[in-house]
């Protein structure tokens, strides 16, 4: 086998590609109060190079897809999330204090909005806290605080 091909085949075997594995699974998603929000199916794909998310909103028939991957060239994680309403969110970041922290900018009705997603393993659950800032990061508002509980 050619050396370059061997390197490519082994590329996603680095421990960096396992940093977000705590989120892989089938999940029942609730709010902090326990109110059902939806279901999420998170798998590893493309020879373990990509964390693939399929989110089903419980109160709306909408579906969202997320692709999250470690970019070794930049040393950062990247996520692109899209949903049935045409919403597109691009985030970048990495592990901070044991949590996956991804940040990015989008524009809503012409206004620049900062986004920060933090995924934290909490026992057998995972908390995803998504906050937004409309003032350049001076203040933050919670957009989504979802708790992912493993389903059998």
pLDDT top residue among 43 and 152? 43
For residue range 60-85, what is the model confidence (pLDDT) as tens digits? 788 999 999 999 999 999 999 999 99
Q: What is the pLDDT of residue 58?
A: 83
Where b means 16+ CB within 10 Å and e means fewer, 114-131 reads: bbbbbbbeeeebbebbbb
DSSP 8-class letter at 4? H
Residue in 119, 123, 124, 128 with CA at minimum distance from that of residue 150:
124
The H-or-E segment that residue 5 falls in is helix 3-10
What average pLDDT does the structure give for the chain? 92
- Evaluate if residue 150 carries a pLDDT over 80: yes
pLDDT band (50, 70, 90) for residue 1 = very low
């Amino acid at each position: 086998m050619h050396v370059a091909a061997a390197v490519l085949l082994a590329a996603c075997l680095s421990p960096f590609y396992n940093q977000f594995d705590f989120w892989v699974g089938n999940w029942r998603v609730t709010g902090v109060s326990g109110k059902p929000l939806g279901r999420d199916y998170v798998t590893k794909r493309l020879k373990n190079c990509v964390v693939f998310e399929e989110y089903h909103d419980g109160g709306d028939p909408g579906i969202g897809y997320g692709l999250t991957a470690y970019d070794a060239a930049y040393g950062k994680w990247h996520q692109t999330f899209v949903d049935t309403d045409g919403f597109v969110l691009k985030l970048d970041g990495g592990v901070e204090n044991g949590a996956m922290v991804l940040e990015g900018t989008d524009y809503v009705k012409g206004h620049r909005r900062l986004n920060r997603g933090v995924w934290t393993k909490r026992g057998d659950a995972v908390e995803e806290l998504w906050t937004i800032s409309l003032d350049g990061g001076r203040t933050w508002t919670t957009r989504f605080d979802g708790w992912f509980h493993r389903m059998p």
